[in-house]
Structure 1
Amino acid sequence: MKKSVAGLLWVLCLVSSCSVLKKKEVAGTASEKAYTQSETKPYDKVITKEAVSHKGLMDVHRVDQTYYLEIPDSLLQREMLVVSRFIKTPAGAPAYGGEEIGEKTIWFEKGPANKIFLRVQTLVSKASEEDAISRAVNNSSASPIMEAFDIEAIKGKDKSYVIDVTNFINSENALLSLSDEQKKKLNLLSLEKDKSYIRDINTYPINTEIKTVKTYKAKISEDKRENLPAAVLSGVVTVEINNSIVLLPKVPMKKRYFDNRVGYFASSYWEYGDDQQRADRNTYIHRWRLEPKEEDMERWKRGELVEPEKAIVFYIDPATPEKWRSYLIQGVNDWQEAFEQAGFKNAIVGREWPEDNDSMSLEDARFSVIRYFASPVRNAYGPNITDPRSGEIMESHIGWYHNVMNLLHNWYMVQAGVIDPRARKMKFDDELMGELIRFVASHEVGHTLGLRHNMGASHATPVEKLRDSAWLEKHGHTSSIMDYARFNYVAQPEDHISIKGMMPRIGDYDKWAIQWGYSRFPGQMSPDEEKELLSQWATDSISANPRLWFGGEGRDFDPRSQSEDLGDNAVIASAYGIKNLQRVVPELLEWTREDKSDDYEGLEEVYNAVYRQYDKYVTHVLKNIGGLYVTPKTIGDQGDVYAPVDKTRQKEALDFIDTYVFHEPSWLLYGDVVNKIEAPLSKKNFSKTMEGVMTTLLGGSRLSRMEFIADRYKYEEPYMPEEFVADVSGLVWKELESNMPVDPYRRSIQKAYVASILTLYNPKEPKGGFIDALLAKLSEGSTLHTDVRAIALARLMTLEDRLKRSIPFTRDSMTRMHYQFIYRQIRDAVGEEKLPLQIYPFQMGMSVQDGEQ
């Protein structure tokens, strides 16, 4: 008989704890009496008249400096989520007030000998209670007892158990304190108990909040950069921590199964059943619980937009500068349109924090907050806290670092400065900075809704459409704000693109992903039935609209899924981007000028941003060479999951590298700029960049992958590794054909080429230096049992012969010395014995100019 997932029983308790429940029915058995009983006292002798009490999820009592929790019998065995956050951190720490420390799921249970046990959930596997295998799962799913509390008193017929939690909260434990890894990061040692205390415990209907001050003995490191100022001054470090204990729903939210074609964060566990022949991985997405109000159910069934029973609310940290709050709120509210596509209006709202409400706390896990950190870190992030049983998102605290504005400024000036005149100064107007803040807020809110990065979204836009004003007004420059698409760097000044066509915004993919994850279906569908429907929906939707494709985080070899790229052709898009950078560099002196008394710090910062942008364009193009398209599919979808990048596109990418890397980018060495920010070492720095490109271009991993693709996929015209290396050689050694002098930059290119080929030939014996060692590390192992080393040897022997014949006719003295150095380097590595060159150049796929003339 087919069993519903909704009918599964959580089998997370230890067998002994389940037997304890049975003992409740037969009190006073012999086995119970065998334990040493701890005596309980009359309730009023423990919770005296002097007690300061608060009623809530668990009543809290404070008698002098002792804290008691009163746990009702109805709360035993109920799962609770414990979320720990910093309230205050020491100066200089890599963490800030409001940031999460950790989360765990716990429950209390009645133990023998008048004990209350605190267990920590370890969800790895489960099974239906109706299946015999559930016993085996139960036997291998023991959740640890973290603490055993004496029952100090019992209240009432319904029974509520009073336990003393003072020592437990003040102790160093894995539930309420810092983890070993966090202490190591902060150079903290043991807890100083006499300098640690409970600041306050408050309780509310579904949560209890514990605030503590904890002081740790600090370790002083020899590396002064690792030491916190407080540790140096006093030898100790003090932090303030908030622990939220939140009651999870008695009936978990219905799960929605994960589909790797739609980008959601997910949780999973192993699921067992009597009818299985293998264990199943049960994977379900993270999402908020959105349900129509009871009175709106009929309207919802008719397809009308309705407000949810409980909206998603994000509060703005009152520490946020007032002028930015409205933009952060807009960033939250921008998602309302996406939820309307899922059938809900006003499903998500941003609000100011009610500072006059003493019953609310920023650290309270019931409230989602955009926390503002006074930090030089240039970042923002959007986590979500979930019910591990169902994937239900309970709350989120978005982290917003003050200095993210500095990052936004540099991005926008470099990428959009030639289009938007407002970007041509070091301090943006509030309106422009507010628009940039809004975009980042929308991105981070997307993460809190369960959405992962979609680095493939920008590939859905044809490059030339990025220059089409009308098209951009309608669609935006990327299909998802969850991409790292930043700003439209492809648009040229003559295109007259509006600001709307330059900025990221919530797109087609985002709306569809929310619809897929949050739409509800009439009737009582099981998760399995929903899975079938949602899978077909994904198949039909993505095949009908390629803009809905999810490209993942860009961690594989797919050039469509890259961080901070634009368009469906990185070669063309990057060429447009560099064209704009060439316009930006001569203007930097003027754009970064603030006051005559200022130094050139701003100029240097923005110039470095230009350089990094150039480097990104090169990286985007490089990924096409040896690239492999990865398109997740189900059996019902058409087409292959894996397909190589077209050979023509790979050759175009190599031509780009020749144009913009193999020849010195003199436009980037603009004298009026470079001479004001550093000593004349830029060419050396660019040589390092070029060497890095050569390292990855001729890396053993790339060449082995090209060989594997050609052999495994049997395509008509693959880009063979021997042909690719020959093409690179032809571009690098052009001067050998014309007997022209080789300039310093090109000499560096040629040296880097030889270092790469030598490392391919013998990766276990790098010739010295950082680049050689890096090349060896990348190549070692990846080229074993491939033809890559043979290809490298052939290239070295060919080049040695060409150099030998060219040196006597080289007139430029520095070029001749350079050739002699390379010749000697190859000869020392390869040795004297060589095969006759004339028998193999064409067989190896080399061009005429590389072989015997």
Structure 2
Amino acid sequence: MKKLLLILFFIAVSFDGFSQFFTEKTANKLQKGITKYEGYFTFYYDENSDKIFLQIDQLDTDFLYFRSLSEGIGSNDIGLDRGQLGAGVVVHFKKAGNKLMLIQPNQDYRAITDNVEEKKSVREAFAKSVLHGFVIKKERKGIYLVDATDFFMRDAHGVSSTLARNKEGTYSLDESKSAFHLDRTKAFPKNVEFDLMLTFKGSPKGSNLRSVSPNGFLVTVHQHHSFVELPDNNYKPRKFDPRSGGYPMSYLDYATPVNQSIKKRFIYRHRLEKKNPEAEISEAKEPIIYYLDRGTPEPVRSALLEGGSWWNQAFEAIGYKEAFQMKMLPVGADPLDVRYNMVQWVHRSTRGWSYGSSISDPRTGEIIKGHVSLGSLRIRQDFLIAQALQAPYKKDAVDDDFALQMAIARIRQLSAHEIGHTLGFAHNFAASTNGRASVMDYPHPKFSLKENKIDFSNAYDTKIGVWDKVTVAYFYQEFEKDEENELHKILEDAFASGLKYLSDADARSQGSASSSAHLWDNGSNIHDELYNILKIRRTAIENFSKDNIKTKQPYSALEDVFVPLYFFHRFQTEAAVKLIGGLEYSYAVKGGNQTIVKRVSGTTERIALQAVLKTIAVDEIAIPKEKLALFPPRAMGFGRTRESFKSDLGVEFDAFGAVETASEMTLNLLLNPQRASRLIAHKSLNKRQLGLVELLDELITKTIKKTHKDSYYQELQSVINTAVLEQLFYLAAYKNQYKQVNAIVMHKLSEIKTILQNKKLEGIQKIYNLAMIKMIEDFVKNPTSFKKSNAPKIPDGSPIGNDYKY
């Protein structure tokens, strides 16, 4: 009882202290253990109870609230990275009884009108969200004091749900092991920042979390909360055009006249204005400045600063002087402080995507803070690719500067790319077929052969692209009058000059039909570049030796270097396949000058098909016999990883598995159901198009009908033939496609059976043929029971994963 009275007495004294002093401008009268922070919101920290008390003097005033992770988990697969931003939302406080409600109004449905009742009718028609109810502890002259501890000390970023979704276990917040982190809890005139160390308790289920946490039962991260003053009303939103290279922010405006679209679309962009609008060249009133993480090491630091600064070339082209700048983050500044656009160097246990995100004003699309997260292991993968292509360690020498320079060149481009996202720009996956027109494409290193040696000098670009100047002009150029027509002219002029723009949805799926939107490809002539890539790959494999690793490294490391070389053709293959049943099209608008849509010619399809079939030719994808002696069972401490070749031979290196994986990769793309259906449709419209029957005939000729005198090659041919059959079974049984596809494939399976029956073989090959005939007979009897067996999983490729971030 005595202990309870003491606790009640302490609480009363604490609140009495606040009631006397929470409106004072200085904190010198506050009781011991209480610290006052004056800023956009004044708040108090009580170290006696580890609580935050928030002082609120403005009700019904909108401000921006966003959350983020200041310290993450470090697993690319889980995705909870240091510096990861959450959503930014408009909120305001509203008094209701003894509480202040933090309300998020609905920004998706509006009425842009002077009619107050019309605005009210829309506001009342759609739900809002109350994010928290703060009990009022004290009130004085319209100023309220609330205990905000519970609002901040929660899993606002969704760590527990992310862990559960990734099957890493069920976790809950352990408040006894959580506390405010005062080093990053700060107040400024236009924003206040709150940081918390949060510990989650649970039982680990997955391997990813255990691999990055010292104790899988207790996982501690830091979550960050920001209250930010919204920008003034002087920003002018700019209309979104699907051809402009940006992302749309949108809402429904119910005050729109009936003959106009109710859905309003605007671009995301920073505010940028000239000091002197009349001048041809002028400084900006407020330049766009990006700051680099001070934890970034050299030579990466210099590369990121240089690559990011490329954007100033585009701003200069529209009449700005030093409007875009790159600087090092000031000492002591917080990367999550909304006042700093950031490029952050992020470490993970495995390599993964880099991404550019931003916090914007949900009312207008104005970007308030750009934040780039760059995965630190990415540069090592580019180094590995270069190391695989040219043996740099002959005679105990270390001659790998070319590999470092290539990796650094990629980092420069990556800096520009991710910053581009935070400037408002989307991917342009057509740029690589358009003369490296944009840093917003995913660039594959570009190599050539000179005197049978691989030339690295032009691996990556060294500047901003011509398309990037178009997007900067559309987003950031100022116009004295007739803005809409001037913006239209910028795009029309760009497309008239031959520039192209297509983004993610047109590039990523296996069934994609675009003839130009591809990831990690090169060249306007896609099929010729595939031949070039295969030639470079062949040359590098022929030259591959122990000199591709340093002296005293285990030979297991040599196998790891060989992986990206063996699959070096994977992305250009994907690009070439898209020409088959492909389309040339754009985001055309009425009144524009772009191609709306047309089919890729039959001639181009047939050339592309021959190039693609080369990637399942035994003499192309067989690992040379003499190279197999370089790959012993894995050494102690150097076991297989997700980026290694998989093996059906136990500890032994599996050359058959590599061929099976490579061939399945191509066949999955080539015999995609959507592609097969398009071939039927296109052939019906023009008999000169490549048809599905012709494609399958060529495939059968180059695989099933092939024989080799060399027993190694013949065994590998059997591996490929089985993969062909499996993919044909899958296509024949697939339901969501034209039924003509099912009929044609079933007929071709019957032809294959006849071919196999007529082959006069002996010994082991006869056994294989009989087994394949039995496979066809069993499938035809009951196609619905077919379950495709999977080849050994292809090791991670992009980013050079396979999942999409940014």
Shorter-chain TM-score category?
Answer: 0.7 to 0.9
Distance (whole Å) between structure 1 residues aligned to residue 374 and residue 606 of structure 2? 43
The one-letter code sitting in structure 1 at the alignment partner of 2:129 is P
Correspondence for 2:122? 137
Aligned pair 1:603/2:558, yes or no? yes
Correspondence for 2:147? 164
The one-letter code sitting in structure 2 at the alignment partner of 1:351 is K
Aligned pair 1:754/2:725, yes or no? yes
Alpha-carbon shift at residue 279 of structure 1 (Å): 5.4
Correspondence for 1:730? 701
Correspondence for 1:791? 744
Q: Which moved more, 1:716-725 or 1:346-355?
A: 716-725
Q: Are the aligned partners of 1:377 and 1:404 in contact in 2 as well (CA < 8 Å)?
A: no
Distance (whole Å) between structure 2 residues aligned to residue 398 and residue 663 of structure 1? 43
Q: Are the aligned partners of 1:70 and 1:161 in contact in 2 as well (CA < 8 Å)?
A: yes
The one-letter code sitting in structure 2 at the alignment partner of 1:546 is G
Normalising by structure 1, we get a TM-score of 0.78
Correspondence for 2:316? 340
Return closer, same or farther for 1:40/1:133 CA change in 2, 3 Å cut-off: farther
Q: 1:436-455 counterparts in 2 under 5 A?
A: 436-455=410-429
Correspondence for 2:544? 588
Q: 1:416-435 counterparts in 2 under 5 A?
A: 425=399, 433-435=407-409
Q: Are the aligned partners of 2:473 and 2:490 in contact in 1 as well (CA < 8 Å)?
A: no
Q: Are the aligned partners of 1:256 and 1:531 in contact in 2 as well (CA < 8 Å)?
A: no
Aligned pair 1:242/2:224, yes or no? yes
Q: Which moved more, 1:600-609 or 1:822-831?
A: 822-831
Return closer, same or farther for 1:194/1:570 CA change in 2, 3 Å cut-off: same
Distance (whole Å) between structure 2 residues aligned to residue 326 and residue 564 of structure 1? 25
Distance (whole Å) between structure 1 residues aligned to residue 414 and residue 340 of structure 2? 21
Q: How many residue pairs end up in the alignment?
A: 727
Correspondence for 1:616? 571
2:69 to 85, 97, 100: 85
The one-letter code sitting in structure 2 at the alignment partner of 1:686 is V
Distance (whole Å) between structure 2 residues aligned to residue 248 and residue 99 of structure 1? 22
Name the SS for the 2:618 alignment partner: coil
Distance (whole Å) between structure 1 residues aligned to residue 76 and residue 603 of structure 2? 52
Normalising by structure 2, we get a TM-score of 0.82
Distance (whole Å) between structure 2 residues aligned to residue 252 and residue 551 of structure 1? 31
What do you get for the CA RMSD once the two structures are aligned?
A: 3.5
Aligned pair 1:658/2:613, yes or no? yes
Aligned pair 1:546/2:487, yes or no? no
The one-letter code sitting in structure 2 at the alignment partner of 1:745 is L
Alpha-carbon shift at residue 209 of structure 1 (Å): 0.7
Q: Are the aligned partners of 1:206 and 1:247 in contact in 2 as well (CA < 8 Å)?
A: yes
Distance (whole Å) between structure 2 residues aligned to residue 737 and residue 660 of structure 1? 17
Q: Are the aligned partners of 2:410 and 2:460 in contact in 1 as well (CA < 8 Å)?
A: no
Name the SS for the 1:438 alignment partner: helix
Distance (whole Å) between structure 2 residues aligned to residue 219 and residue 570 of structure 1? 50
Distance (whole Å) between structure 1 residues aligned to residue 301 and residue 380 of structure 2? 17
Distance (whole Å) between structure 2 residues aligned to residue 372 and residue 741 of structure 1? 47
Distance (whole Å) between structure 2 residues aligned to residue 321 and residue 488 of structure 1? 26
Distance (whole Å) between structure 1 residues aligned to residue 85 and residue 492 of structure 2? 39
Return closer, same or farther for 1:593/1:362 CA change in 2, 3 Å cut-off: same
2:38 to 55, 66, 70: 55
1:217-244 Cα shifts (integer Å, max 9, x gaps): 22232x45543675746x3222222212
Return closer, same or farther for 1:571/1:123 CA change in 2, 3 Å cut-off: same
1:431-467 Cα shifts (integer Å, max 9, x gaps): 5554343222122222221112211101113xxxxxx
Distance (whole Å) between structure 1 residues aligned to residue 721 and residue 383 of structure 2? 38
Q: Are the aligned partners of 1:376 and 1:402 in contact in 2 as well (CA < 8 Å)?
A: no
Return closer, same or farther for 1:517/1:696 CA change in 2, 3 Å cut-off: same
The one-letter code sitting in structure 1 at the alignment partner of 2:763 is S
Correspondence for 2:107? 123
Alpha-carbon shift at residue 339 of structure 1 (Å): 0.9
Name the SS for the 1:111 alignment partner: strand
Q: Are the aligned partners of 1:386 and 1:392 in contact in 2 as well (CA < 8 Å)?
A: yes
Aligned pair 1:362/2:335, yes or no? yes
Q: Which moved more, 1:382-391 or 1:251-260?
A: 251-260
Aligned pair 1:401/2:364, yes or no? no
1:625 to 573, 576, 580: 580
Return closer, same or farther for 1:122/1:589 CA change in 2, 3 Å cut-off: farther
Return closer, same or farther for 1:638/1:125 CA change in 2, 3 Å cut-off: same
Correspondence for 1:715? 686
2:656 to 678, 683, 693: 683
Correspondence for 2:797? none
Name the SS for the 2:263 alignment partner: strand
Correspondence for 1:19? none
1:511 to 450, 461, 469: 469
Distance (whole Å) between structure 2 residues aligned to residue 217 and residue 224 of structure 1? 16
2:347 to 368, 371, 374: 374
Return closer, same or farther for 1:109/1:364 CA change in 2, 3 Å cut-off: same
Distance (whole Å) between structure 2 residues aligned to residue 756 and residue 433 of structure 1? 37
1:310-363 Cα shifts (integer Å, max 9, x gaps): 1222222222224432222112211111111222121222212222xx4x3222
Q: Are the aligned partners of 1:700 and 1:782 in contact in 2 as well (CA < 8 Å)?
A: yes
Q: Which moved more, 1:637-646 or 1:513-522?
A: 637-646
1:822 to 769, 772, 790: 772
Correspondence for 2:3? none
Q: Are the aligned partners of 1:385 and 1:394 in contact in 2 as well (CA < 8 Å)?
A: yes
Distance (whole Å) between structure 2 residues aligned to residue 673 and residue 541 of structure 1? 51
Q: Are the aligned partners of 2:546 and 2:630 in contact in 1 as well (CA < 8 Å)?
A: no
Distance (whole Å) between structure 1 residues aligned to residue 494 and residue 751 of structure 2? 54
Correspondence for 2:178? 196
Distance (whole Å) between structure 2 residues aligned to residue 628 and residue 447 of structure 1? 27
Distance (whole Å) between structure 1 residues aligned to residue 304 and residue 620 of structure 2? 40
Q: 1:524-535 counterparts in 2 under 5 A?
A: 530-535=483-488
1:103 to 87, 92, 105: 87
1:642-701 Cα shifts (integer Å, max 9, x gaps): 222111111112222333423332674352366435635213420332234234323433
The one-letter code sitting in structure 1 at the alignment partner of 2:43 is V
Distance (whole Å) between structure 2 residues aligned to residue 68 and residue 87 of structure 1? 24
Correspondence for 1:285? 267
1:408-453 Cα shifts (integer Å, max 9, x gaps): 21234456889xxxx9955767655543432221222222211122
Distance (whole Å) between structure 1 residues aligned to residue 434 and residue 171 of structure 2? 51
Name the SS for the 2:627 alignment partner: helix
Distance (whole Å) between structure 2 residues aligned to residue 274 and residue 401 of structure 1? 45
The one-letter code sitting in structure 2 at the alignment partner of 1:567 is G
Q: Are the aligned partners of 2:454 and 2:536 in contact in 1 as well (CA < 8 Å)?
A: no
Larger gyration radius, structure 1 or structure 2: 1
Distance (whole Å) between structure 2 residues aligned to residue 681 and residue 243 of structure 1? 51
Return closer, same or farther for 1:812/1:425 CA change in 2, 3 Å cut-off: farther
Q: Are the aligned partners of 1:79 and 1:107 in contact in 2 as well (CA < 8 Å)?
A: yes
Distance (whole Å) between structure 1 residues aligned to residue 44 and residue 533 of structure 2? 64
Structure 1: 5+ residue runs without aligned partners? Answer: 1-38, 462-477, 524-528, 764-778, 833-853
1:703 to 676, 699, 703: 676
The one-letter code sitting in structure 1 at the alignment partner of 2:661 is K
Distance (whole Å) between structure 2 residues aligned to residue 622 and residue 792 of structure 1? 19
2:293 to 314, 317, 320: 317
Distance (whole Å) between structure 2 residues aligned to residue 692 and residue 495 of structure 1? 28
Q: Are the aligned partners of 1:571 and 1:653 in contact in 2 as well (CA < 8 Å)?
A: yes
Q: Are the aligned partners of 1:59 and 1:203 in contact in 2 as well (CA < 8 Å)?
A: yes
Q: Are the aligned partners of 2:64 and 2:361 in contact in 1 as well (CA < 8 Å)?
A: no
Name the SS for the 1:301 alignment partner: coil
Alpha-carbon shift at residue 625 of structure 1 (Å): 1.4
Name the SS for the 1:629 alignment partner: strand
Alpha-carbon shift at residue 799 of structure 1 (Å): 3.4
Return closer, same or farther for 1:592/1:136 CA change in 2, 3 Å cut-off: same
1:68 to 50, 53, 57: 53
